[in-house]
Structures are given as C-alpha cells and as structure tokens.
Structure 1
Amino acid sequence: MNELPIRFITTQLNKDLIPLQLYTVGSNIQNALHRPMGFSATQVLITLSGSGRIRIKGQHDRVAAKKHAFIIYEGIPHEYFPISDEPWLVGFISIRGASVPTMLQNMELKNGEVLPINELELLWNLAEHIWALAEHNQPELIWKLSELLYSFLLEFRKQTLFFSYHTPKVDRSNPSEAILEHVTTILKEHYTQPISLSEVSKASGYSHQHLNRLFRQYFGVTLNQYLQNLRILHAVDLIERNKHITLNEIADELGLDSRYFTRLFKKNMGMSPGEYKRKVHCQ
C-alpha cells in the first residue's frame, strides 16, 4: 500500500448540525510522535505495514502490528513510535462531532484498545474512498463525507468485533442469534481450558457445519478461528500486563502446548510471542 498525502477538511459546520465530521485522512511512514496535550480530534489509526508502540497516559503500552488498529480519543495525552525494522506505515482518519463519544461508546470501541482487523483491504478501501473525495474540500461534500465516515466506523466495528471479549447484542427471539449468544458465552468462559468444538456444537444442538456458517455470517470467521482469537487476545493482555511472565506460563494459562501457542500467536500477530514481549517492554 502506498502513502496517501494528508488531506484536511477545513470547512467544519456546526457540530450539532452534522455530528460526525471528517477532519483529516491519509497514510504515512510514521516517526515518533509525542502529544502531551492530545489531539484536537478522535483518531482511528491502522497499521498497514511494520509495527509501532502506543503509549497513552494512564494505560500500559500496547503494540500495533500489521492489520491492527487503535483509536485515540480527542484530547487524550499520548505518544506512539515505530519499533520494527520495516517502516511503520500508518493509515489514519480523524473525526470530530457531537456524536463521536456516544457512537464510540455504543460500539464499545475503547480509547487505546488495539484490535486486529479481519479484512484489512476491505476496510482500507473505504478509507481510500474517503481520501479521494476529501481532495475537493468543498462545503457541499461535508454531508457525503459524514455518510462515508459512518459507513467506515460500522465496517471498522464489524472487522474487529469477533476479536472482542464482548458478547454481541442479540435478538433472543431469533433462534440463530440466541444460539450465537449461547455458544460465544461458552467459548468466553472456557477458552483457557482444552475445549472440544464438537462438544460445543453438541451443547448448542446444532451441527459443527451449521455453527461455522452462523459464525461466518455474523463474525466473518469460523468457530475455531473465533476461539483462537479469544486466546490470542488473552495472551496479548497477559504479555502487556506482566513483563516477567514466561511463554510457558502463558501457554499453560490458555491450556495449549507451548509450541502450538507460539505458532498460533505468530500466525495472528505477525511475530512470535517472545518478540512481541520484547517490543512491548523494551524501554
């Protein structure tokens, strides 16, 4: 993916009139950046290649590898900087408006949370479309850009949802959605134990094949991939919170063989757990 020169939308209408407005969009090779006073807009940042470390006041450091994204709320002190040999190419969209805090809260998108992206190209194509339209920077386009921003945030939530600990909100009158809630609850309560997906299927009353179809429909991944992502998310949390934890201890915590855990982590994160740990905790 190529760099996209930053584009600014200088026309900002009343934030109550258009509660979701684009401020900047683009992508660049990111160098170290320190913002002790925060930024004047909420930022959605996506690692397109390389990796970087994010440091937000009051939180532990996090690493955003390729195909990972994070959001930094408006006005929050932060800094981030590259940590890989490969240049850290970061795509960004910054947004303003009265509805932004409520929308992010309703979508359960937390400040500073790093989330893997399921289909990077699909999400970034939407960002490129916004970037192309922003070239004109005309007042009459503000409304269209607001529509595209809303679509982008919905797609962002969809692409990162199945990596979240949160159980999706479902319509319990819909049998398929009710069973999804039941199965995801089982997985989230038992993912640190050796778990048989055939037993999970049996407990749901559905065949493994049918459950896979439901998970692909709602989350874009199979039942097994959903379980793996829960484990990786927990492993990342353990590494970030405890610099002294060993890889064997993490594997044991997840109920996995250490060699299998290492392969699984590298497949999902683009680096080994040992390398991730060094990047997170290096001073």
Structure 2
Amino acid sequence: MMPFLLAEFAMFENILPLYVYCIGSHEQKHLLRPDGYPAHQLFLCRSGMGIFRIVGSSDLVMTPGTMLILPAGVPHEYFPDQSEDAWELGFVAFSGSASDAILAHLGNRTPTLLKKNQFHKHWNKLESLWQLINLNRENGFWESSRSMYDMLLSVLEEQTQQEVKQRIKPIGQPNTALQEAIKLIHDHYNERLHLSNLARAVGYSVQHFHRLFVSIYGVTPMLYIQQIRMRRSIQLFHENPSMTVEQVAQQLGMETSYFIRIFKRTYGQTPKQFMK
C-alpha cells in the first residue's frame, strides 16, 4: 500500500505545466463526491472490484488490471463491489495548464474506462512516482512533473496503439506499404512531407493512398503529420524549458506563425500561454 500523499508544491502551481496533486493506494471504501474533485484523476485497480457511479452516465466497473480517467469537477461516487477480495485502488491526481490537453487525448474530457493495458508497467510507474514525492527531495517538484508526464504519455501511447490495431483488423493482413509510410512520417516529420511524395514512396497513387490511410488510421496523412509535430512540440517544451517558440518551430520544420496558429488550434492556447 502507498499511504495518501498530498504533493506540497503549491508555490509551483503557476510554474509547472503539469504537476501531481496527490497520490496513493489503499483498500478503497465508499466515497461520495457530489461536487467532483479539484484535479484530474487516474485510477488503477490492482485487486477486487469496484463501481464508479457518474452523474448522468452509466456505471463504470473496475476489475483487476483496469484503469480509469476521471476529469476534475465531475460529480461522482465509488464503492467496492460485494466480492470477497478487498478493492485495492491506486490513484494519482494531476493538474496544471497542460493537464487539460493531455486529458483530451486520453478520454476526451469525459470519465473513461481505459482498454486492456500493460497494468504492471503503469503500477510500477505509480509506485516510483509515490516514492519520489514521499522523499520530498530538493527539486522533487521538477522530477515528479517529468515522471507524471512520462506515466500519462505511456498510457496514451498504449491506448493509441490499440486503437490503430483495431482499425487495421478489418483490412486483414497488415498493410506493409502504409506501415512504411508511417515510418517515413515519424523519421521525417520535421521536413517538408508532401502527400504526393509519400504516396510515390510506397507505390500508390495519391488518391488511393489518401483513401486507404484515412480508412485505417482515421485521419488524413497531413493531419497525422500535424499531430506528430504538436505532440513533439509539447515534449520539446517540457524537456527544454529555455527553448523559444521560434526554436521549437524550427525543430519541427514549421514557420513560427504557422506553428503558433496550429498549436492554438490544437491545444486552445498559444505556446507562450502554455509555458506560463
């Protein structure tokens, strides 16, 4: 068990774009929150079974190995099922200017029971994060922010990979040409990638490549490239807080004004507002 810890980083709430609000794990009892919780929460069920009752939606049942995303301010209650095993529930609450954007990718800002996942990997990350905050070392607020981002990114990566696999299933055998196109995009996202060049590189006409890409990945090739660039920009801002907007745009192969416009369209704020 990881006793409840409230992260005492209040003075950094306006500095860190992502920070831990509280963290822990215990044998969960009935809990009612008619006004919701002030921070977003990620729950991990290690054993037993429990029910999340969300106002205005169906009950969400957590079984061992499942995870749940719960946005801030959503009225709810949760309680153990009448099973013999104790309901061991791990949790971490997070907030910050970047938390809404991350949440939008994980659960579209609604309570979401996440799909089958590599649970032990995520639980180990939760324990490491708890230890980090428990030590309360100098500069621990920066380290915990990085660890929180790593954990959420790991969950997002896994969920995204599962969605892609589900889209590929109806096609039958994996499309090696499209897989090669995806590799090209990830290897050269910071260069000028034209649709015609991508299609030609994998041996398709532009129209057939575009149609097949959308049918499998759910977005156009150009929007896929844009999403890769925006996610990379967030990573750059976190890894290098001293980088300017112009430098990040250059790293992505984008003109600064265009980068700012796309960033705001994607995350609802300019890069400078995001970094404050």
Which of 168, 173, 176 in structure 2 is aligned with 1:201?
Answer: 173
Q: TM-score, normalised by structure 1?
A: 0.57
Q: Which residue of 2 aligns with 1:77?
A: 75
**Maintained 8 Å contact 2:19/2:148:** yes
User: Equivalents in 2 of 1:111, 1:70: separation in Å?
Assistant: 10
The correspondence of residues 32-181 of structure 1 with structure 2, limited to 5 A, is 32-83=30-81, 84-108=83-107, 110-138=109-137, 140-164=139-163, 167=164
Cα distance 1:42–1:122, how it changes in 2: closer, same or farther (>3 A)? same
Give, in angstroms, the shift of residue 16 of structure 1: 3.8
Give, in angstroms, the shift of residue 99 of structure 1: 1.3
**Maintained 8 Å contact 2:69/2:106:** no
Counterpart residue identity of residue 60, structure 2: R
Give, in angstroms, the shift of residue 71 of structure 1: 1.0
Deviations for 1:102-139, whole angstroms, at most 9, x for unmatched residues?
12113455422111342211111111111111113356
Q: TM-score, normalised by structure 2?
A: 0.59
Unaligned runs of 5+ in 1: 168-179, 191-198, 215-283
**Maintained 8 Å contact 1:12/1:21:** no
Give, in angstroms, the shift of residue 81 of structure 1: 0.8
Cα distance 1:51–1:109, how it changes in 2: closer, same or farther (>3 A)? farther
Cα distance 1:154–1:201, how it changes in 2: closer, same or farther (>3 A)? same
Which of 159, 167, 176 in structure 2 is aligned with 1:185?
Answer: 167
User: Equivalents in 2 of 1:117, 1:185: separation in Å?
Assistant: 16
User: Equivalents in 1 of 2:33, 2:15: separation in Å?
Assistant: 29
User: Equivalents in 2 of 1:127, 1:66: separation in Å?
Assistant: 16
Counterpart residue identity of residue 27, structure 1: S
User: Equivalents in 1 of 2:21, 2:66: separation in Å?
Assistant: 22
Give, in angstroms, the shift of residue 161 of structure 1: 3.4
Unaligned runs of 5+ in 2: 184-276
User: Equivalents in 2 of 1:133, 1:61: separation in Å?
Assistant: 33
User: Equivalents in 2 of 1:50, 1:159: separation in Å?
Assistant: 24
Identity of aligned residues (%): 28
The correspondence of residues 217-236 of structure 1 with structure 2, limited to 5 A, is none
Cα distance 1:155–1:33, how it changes in 2: closer, same or farther (>3 A)? same
User: Equivalents in 1 of 2:108, 2:122: separation in Å?
Assistant: 16
Counterpart residue identity of residue 99, structure 1: A
